[in-house]
Amino acid sequence: MKTLYNISIHLYVIGIYISSFFNTKAKEWLRGRKIIFTSLEKAINNHNNIVWFHCASLGEFEQGKPIIQAYKLKYPTHKILLTFFSPSAFEIRKNTPLANWVFYLPADTKSNAQKFIGIVKPIKVVFVKYEFWFNYMTELKNQDIPLYSVSAIFRDGQPFFKYKWWAKQLKNVTHFFVQEKKSAQLLNRIGFSNYTISGDTRFDSVLANSQKPVETPLIASFSKRKPTMIFGSTWPNDEIILTKYIKVHPENNYIIAPHEMLHISNLQKQTDALLYSKANKENILTTNVLIIDSIGLLSSVYQYGKLAYIGGGFGSGIHNILEAVTFGLPVIFGSNYQKFNEATELINQNGAISISNYRELTSAINYFNTFDKKIATDYIDTNSGATKSVIEHI
């Protein structure tokens, strides 16, 4: 099984290389890792007391962020190394003040793991949520470096609970901080007791954001004129029904923040929208549809809405709904939400609705015409506090 795993890693890299000829993200994935060890060695330059945090992408970064912030307060002399797997996350967060250094994670080969850890020499390592890279984990164990898995979540269908070799790899983790009881039960079933049910650190992250949101005067001015709906992290499949609703209901204001910028021009034509990058005090008052074409604004834009639709549910899965919920907004999303505990819990608490078509979208918006914001804010407050549990342990 170990051989098959290592072969799969090499095949993945080959696949990325082939894709790079016609895929921008794949090309960036390779480019970012081209001279990584030379750059890493130069940057680290014999620093010590380095704590390594690894996140796959932006969602995981939001889970890791409150832990990094709290850790820096507790250990101000320690240095933070942050790594990403995703090119888009790296580009957006490569200058974050939370970390001393931000790098891509080299592919999980045995030689890369040995070289990377040999250069960094971390005193502790934190992997966020789904990140389990077996060669890195093995090397950390070999060097007796503590590895913590935070905001982890497990499901019955995962290979860890089907194959002994996969389960064995989890022995390299010093401690698991899992989001909920079911994950703990699954770990217990295969012989692990080194876990804490701490919850999801994203609650702490979004709560902190709602307490000190970034103010955007132009959007504030736009949203005052009419009730404003926020359509966040949308994909074309979401936008098919959303644009139809916009055309039929001009009585509202709409802010759309697409997940990717590639199709913005088409979306703009369909809705006769104003791009945020082109907005000023005058023209923002002449439209009822605003498209956010800037990175990093969405999490604070929710403060100006009365309702949010979160994209991704007609694809691989919904995006972050908690960023909207923390501002007291009810949320609507597509039918593929089952992997997200918060979505299921909010549906059960009447703070969210899943839809499959335009008719259900209209019905959901009408249902949330009157909404008690305490349903949303109480949910965030009740589930916050995971960061404290993690920091006290590590």
Instruction: Write down the domain spans for the chain.
Output: 2-199, 213-382
- From first to last of the 394 residues of the chain, give the pLDDT tens digit: 889 998 899 888 899 889 888 888 888 888 888 889 999 999 998 899 999 999 999 889 999 999 999 999 999 999 999 999 988 888 888 999 999 999 999 999 999 999 999 999 999 999 999 899 999 999 999 999 999 999 999 999 999 999 999 999 999 999 999 999 999 999 999 999 999 999 999 999 999 999 989 899 999 999 998 999 999 999 999 999 999 999 999 999 999 999 988 788 889 989 999 999 999 999 999 999 999 998 888 999 999 999 999 999 999 899 999 999 999 999 999 999 998 889 999 999 999 999 999 999 999 999 999 999 999 999 999 999 999 999 999 8
Q: Which CATH code of 3.40.50.300, 3.40.50.11720, 3.40.1260.10, 1.25.40.10 fits the domain covering 2-199?
A: 3.40.50.11720
How are beta strands 307-310 and 228-234 bridged, if at all? parallel
d(CA 245, CA 254): 10
d(CA 337, CA 349): 15
**Residues 6+ away with beta carbon under 8 Å from 161:** 154, 167, 186, 189, 190
Q: Would you say the CATH fold of 213-382 matches that of 2-199?
A: yes
d(CA 225, CA 291): 17
Q: How far is CA 131 from CA 49, 80, 151, 182, 354, in A?
A: 23, 18, 10, 19, 28
Dihedrals φ, ψ of 83, to 5°? -120, 150
Dihedrals φ, ψ of 289, to 5°? -130, 125
Half-sphere exposure of 335 (CA within 13 A, CB side): 7
Return the amino acid letter for 383: N
Q: Which of 32, 156, 48, 155 is nearest to 103 (CA)?
A: 32
Residues paired with 30 in a beta bridge: none
Q: How far is CA 209 from CA 213, 322, 356, in A?
A: 5, 11, 30
d(CA 126, CA 107): 17
Burial of 116 (0-12, 13-18, 19+ CB in 10 A): buried
The predicted pLDDT at position 305 comes to: 97
d(CA 146, CA 128): 14
- 213-382, what's its fold? Rossmann fold (3.40.50)
d(CA 271, CA 264): 11
The pTM of this model reads: 0.86
